[in-house]
Copies of this chain bind each other. A is one copy, B any other.
Amino acid sequence: MALIVQKYGGSSVADAESIKRVAKRIVDTRRAGHDVVVAVSAMGDTTDELLDLANQVAPIPAPRELDMLLSSGERISMALLAMAIHSMGFEARSFTGSQAGMITDARHGAARIVDVTPVRLREALDEGAIVIVAGFQGFNRDTRDITTLGRGGSDTTAVALAAALEADVCEIYSDVDGIFTADPRVVPRARKLDRISSEEMLELAANGAKVLYIRAVEYARRHGVLIHARSTFSSGEGTLVWGEGMRRNGVALTAGGGNAEGADMEEPIVAGVATDLSQAKITIIGVPDVPGKAAEIFKIVARSGANVDMIVQNVSAAATGLADISFTLPKADAATALKALSGHQAEVGFESLVHDDQIGKLSVVGVGMRTHSGVSATLFEALSIAGVNIEMISTSEIRISVLVRGDDLAEAARLVHTAYGLDGTVDATVHAGTGR
């Protein structure tokens, strides 16, 4: 008998029928002899509908009230889910974020969890009840106000509950079967991974993979929570996201599905390929090649609120003493960053700005890169054979990313996926949904 935390997203509880399907899944887990704690998101588009209402009554809704409003969405879904379970003959109790002891700081709309005191949840579990908790919300002790956790909040709720309750596993359900070696919509031969290390998962998520939120994976890594990413629509095993020292059914987890002893030998070099079309590139042309210019520029960009990802500065032409600096950032941040830079053109002394939103980023991720050489050579060779031009390169200890033309991204991903021996034998699009 284990304690299992499960998280169901908005699409899994979009209507009455879906809620009943999820209720059955929870009941099946209980029937198998496990204690179950569920974190649930708001139904389908509820959050967007509430946001829309808010914008109709107030151009800039007061943050405290916006959190009060949005937190009602999970209250609806969790109560319905508890009722559905109840009517199947099982005791179920729903708890709001504050009832569940999800204590956060006071940053409305983007609160961070500071403590989890699940006293009432433990009581309910001890009494044999299935526990349903509102995802995405908490409360602040000082203001006694309700807060929301922001993007990926429900995943984080689930992981935080799993950590506080010392659950055996945190199952995160979505409409895809697990973590794939690439996005199956881009690379049809992508394979579902049986397991992946949390550091690889973080790199994939940070570079375009959308199945799990970085924040939840980070929380899980820090608190030693084993995540199992799986599908609401199938009973098959999904993907385990494991960290240092984690065990499942008493066995230590390692990469590649091998056991602890054979692990190193069987470890794949590359875990997956991530693709990202959400970025834009800004090139600053004719920057005086004197010390401190880069710092000056990126201070301006940072103050505009943009999150810079890759940066490249070319060698200055000795004749002119001018260099070009390119960087990437989310498309949504580009306009603000461009405006901020233009406003400081005279001061910085650059010649012009070029904005390019037709780019794609391809990243190859794998802990095997630490110990294996030649990983980047394989990447560059594959792209070169395909005639794909590399515009920028950035690397971390376990990742290589390249910037290419957006139109080339899908083909590049398929070729690189093949080059690293990641291709499966069947078409993955049959198994995986179309993202969430």
Question: Residues 60-95 of chain A: 1 if any B CB is under 8 Å from the residue's CB, otherwise 0?
Answer: 111011101101110110111111101100001110
Report B-chain residues with C-beta under 8 Å of the C-beta of A92.
62, 65
B94–A53 contact, CB under 8 A?
no
With contacts A16-B56, A61-B83 known, is A75 near B72, CB below 8 A? yes
With an 8 A cutoff between CB atoms, is A392 at the interface? no
Complex-state Cα separation, A23 to B61, whole angstroms: 14
Interface residues of chain A: helix, strand, loop or mixed (majority): helix
A123 to chain B: closest residue by CB:
B144
**Which chain B residues border A215 with CB–CB below 8 Å?**
none
Question: Per-position contact with B for A39-74: 1 when CB-CB < 8 Å, else 0?
Answer: 000000000001001101111111011101101110
Partner of A69 from the list B57, B58, B83, B86 (CB cut-off 8 Å) is B83
Known: A19-B57, A56-B16. Contact between A94 and B78, CB under 8 A? no
Within 8 A of B (CB), among A16-42: 16, 19-20, 23
- B83 and A58 contact, CB distance less than 8 A: yes
Chain A interface residues toward B at CB < 8 A: 16, 19-20, 23, 50, 53-54, 56-62, 64-66, 68-69, 71-73, 75-76, 78-84, 86-87, 92-94, 96, 99, 120, 144
Between A and B, 25 residue pairs with Cβ closer than 8 Å are A16-B53, A19-B57, A20-B57, A57-B81, A57-B87, A58-B83, A58-B86, A58-B87, A61-B83, A62-B87, A62-B92, A64-B93, A65-B79, A65-B82, A65-B83, A65-B92, A65-B93, A66-B83, A68-B75, A68-B79, A68-B82, A69-B75, A69-B83, A72-B72, A72-B75
